[in-house]
Amino acid sequence: MLPFKLVYHDGYDLNLGSHVFPSQKYRLIRERLLAEGFAEESDFVEPLPASDEDILLVHQRGWVTRLKQGTLDAVELMKLEIPYSPEMVNAFWLAAGGTTLAARLALNDGVGFNIGGGFHHAFPGHGEGFCAIHDVAVAIRKLQQEKWIERAMVIDCDVHHGNGTAAIFASDPSVFTLSIHQWRNYPGIKPPSNIDVNLEDGVGDQEYLDLLRSACRKAFGEFHPQLVMYVAGADPYRGDQLGGLNLSMEGLKERDRLVLDFARENGAPAVVTFAGGYALRLEDTVTIHSNTVKAAAEVY
């Protein structure tokens, strides 16, 4: 039995078909962890979808209504870059509920996992880059509303800049945002985070880890979070179709240990969400995400 819970729902699959975003990966991660005997059925817990009221803590009512009614216009669909379906919408509500549940579990266990989520390109009034609802922001706002926390930190290690995160929390001193990402990659416009680490193409393990360690040291030196939201994208991997960095699988696992060590040493419970991963070989993405769970088991 793991020392923490893994939040998962079969409805996490966004029903995208043969899209570059393999949303079936969530089910495959669960199956891999069970098949390897690393996790047991009892380690998994199922979330409820976030309520509309919770979603509205972050998102504009018009956007929520258009999503639920299926009335997005052509420009909104183009920005979202995924096909519309009721299953897709349901998956985003489940992801937000899952990240909120993982955050509650983290406050009790020290760390919580959502085998999904990390949709960091979503803005209050529109979606971008495969992200319609910002589950991480919803979880932070929900726990703040309920007075479980006052201060949170987002550490975003997806290969793509967390533009939605930076925009949502731009004028909020209660949330500190850190994004380490490939500079010459999506999105074209990158609103400033509290700390942005802009990486050149082809950066490998050692340079990445040195820069991340320095950024985390600075972040925790300036801000004392009561909760850390870790966006653990698999796409800095050297075999990723939508990334241009050169990290190995072991480098990515060391990244996970580094972030979680910083959170634990600074007394901040950590919530892990998985975000992007588009390796040419789907099994590589599944391995990278599964290794994040294994890294957490080593740290905690």
Side-chain half-sphere of 51: how many Cα atoms within 13 Å?
A: 5
Bridge-based pairing of strands 152-156 and 227-231 is parallel
Q: Which residues pair with 175 in a beta bridge?
A: 152
C-alpha 16/C-alpha 176 separation (Å) is 33
Q: Which of 59, 120, 121, 161 is catalytic?
A: 121
User: From the centroid of its chain, how far is CA 134?
Assistant: 9
Strand order in the sheet with 44-45: 44-45, 6-7, 111-114, 270-273, 227-231, 152-156, 175-182, 195-199
Spatial contact of 196 and 212, defined as CB atoms under 8 Å apart: no
Beta bridge partners of 266: none
The interaxial angle of helices 86-109 and 135-145, nearest 10 deg, is 50
Q: Is 289 an annotated catalytic residue?
A: no
| H helix or E strand, kind and range, residue 231 | strand 227-231
Task: Please choose, from the candidates 148, 138, 157, 114, the residue with its C-alpha nearest in 3D space to the C-alpha of residue 226.
Answer: 148
Q: At how many degrees (to 10) do helices 282-299 and 25-35 cross?
A: 60
Interatomic CA distance for residues 205 and 157, integer angstroms: 13
Which residues make Cβ contacts (< 8 Å) with residue 246, sequence separation at least 6?
Answer: 202, 203, 204, 205, 238
Closest alpha carbon to 161 in 203, 196, 209: 196
- Where in the sequence numbering do the catalytic residues fall? 121
